[in-house]
Chain A
Amino acid sequence: AQKITQTQPGMFVQEKEAVTLDCTYDTSDPSYGLFWYKQPSSGEMIFLIYQGSYDQQNATEGRYSLNFQKARKSANLVISASQLGDSAMYFCAMSPIYNQGGKLIFGQGTELSVKP
């Protein structure tokens, strides 16, 4: 069975500093996708970044980068130059099917608080 584990229920970071949110996964599928979503207090789910299991390079999207270590089965999210607006819940997710239409399996989430 596929599983996502986020071991940090809450994290604090100073504004303008970088922060790493941990995510480990477990799957027996050879092909999968890894995702990070942001959920502000308003409740919507905002897609941040995607990494395919066969992608050679780590994904980057603006201030977000995904530190993908396949052998360790980890897909940590790095947010550089934190902003107050980054305060939110962050969910790591996995899709066990390396194509369109696969369900997302989510972790428990990490609540990030950015201090001024």
Chain B
Amino acid sequence: EPEVTQTPSHQVTQMGQEVILRCVPISNHLYFYWYRQILGQKVEFLVSFYNNEISEKSEIFDDQFSVERPDGSNFTLKIRSTKLEDSAMYFCASSGLGGALNYEQYFGPGTRLTVT
């Protein structure tokens, strides 16, 4: 069964450093997302991406964040200068089989980011 994959599973970084979280969405999915979950809290939407551009972003997704689809398979989230409050689990998700009514978003296993 196809699945969303994410690397690394755990990333530890120092405050102020740049991090890149990587995701490989399900092939032939068209919509890609990043969410985050601070420990013990609910899952929060960060950004959605379609047709090689951002379709929607939340207030959390400020200038420190960027997303990219550098090739036909990878989808990345970059945080330019990490802060302590960026420590969270980051989930990548994908959805949408072209032409089919498929609304479910399939989540990857997450990357736990720890900023020290």
Contacts and interface: CB of A to CB of B under 8 A. Distances in A.
A27 to B, nearest CB: 15
Interface residues of A, number: 24
Interface of A: 33, 35, 37, 43-47, 50, 52, 91, 93, 95, 99-109
B45 A103 contact: yes
User: Interface SS of chain B: helix, strand, loop or mixed?
Assistant: strand
A37 B101 CA distance: 19
A109 B33 CA distance: 20
22 contacts: A35-B103, A43-B89, A43-B110, A45-B93, A46-B107, A47-B106, A100-B30, A101-B30, A101-B31, A101-B55, A101-B95, A101-B96, A102-B48, A102-B103, A103-B48, A103-B56, A104-B33, A104-B35, A104-B45, A106-B44, A107-B42, A108-B41
Interface residues of B, number: 30
A101 B43 contact: no
Interface of B: 30-31, 33, 35, 41-45, 48, 50, 55-56, 58, 89, 91, 93, 95-96, 101-110, 112
A93 B93 CA distance: 14
Given A45-B91, A47-B106, A101 B50 contact: yes
A80 B109 CA distance: 26
Given A44-B110, A108-B42, 4 more contacts: A43-B112, A44-B107, A106-B43, A106-B44
Given A45-B91, A101-B31, A101-B55, A50 B103 contact: yes
B89 to A, nearest CB: 6
Contacts of A47: 104-107
B43 A45 contact: yes
B37 to A, nearest CB: 9
